[in-house]
Amino acid sequence: MSGHQQTCDPWDAVPLGPANNNVDFFTHGACAQAGVDPSIFTSEEDDQQAVTAARAVCLSCPVRLPCRRYAYAANPYGVYAGETQTERTANLKRDAHLGADEHYRRGEVVA
């Protein structure tokens, strides 16, 4: 490991999604179950049919919270925990402007 690399965080993982065997929760995700087309999670964001289908899978997922934490830490392309990368990026920018007290008042858990 070179001197300029950061310490490996368990949320920073490649490859992304269920193919990543180093992130245990993905194996329990609704997206990893038989019959779920993995391409709906990495389709173009303007493919509303695929994004809607991915969100429907995420809605019933038992590991949505750890998936959301992962997605906000790594901000990979695709739908994770029901959000697109564009949505996460917008939320990250918005949240950068909010202080911890504001998150607390809004009842939010910061990932």
Distance CA 50, CA 42 (A): 9
* pLDDT tens for the chain, residues 1 to 111: 334 333 444 444 345 555 555 567 888 999 999 999 999 999 899 999 999 999 999 999 999 999 999 888 887 889 999 999 999 999 888 877 766 555 555 555 555
The b/e string for 11-46 (b: 16+ C-beta within 10 A; e otherwise) is eebeebbbebeebebbeebbbbeeebeeebbebeee
Contact residues for 7 (Cβ-Cβ < 8 A; gap 6+)? none
> Whole-model pTM?
0.67
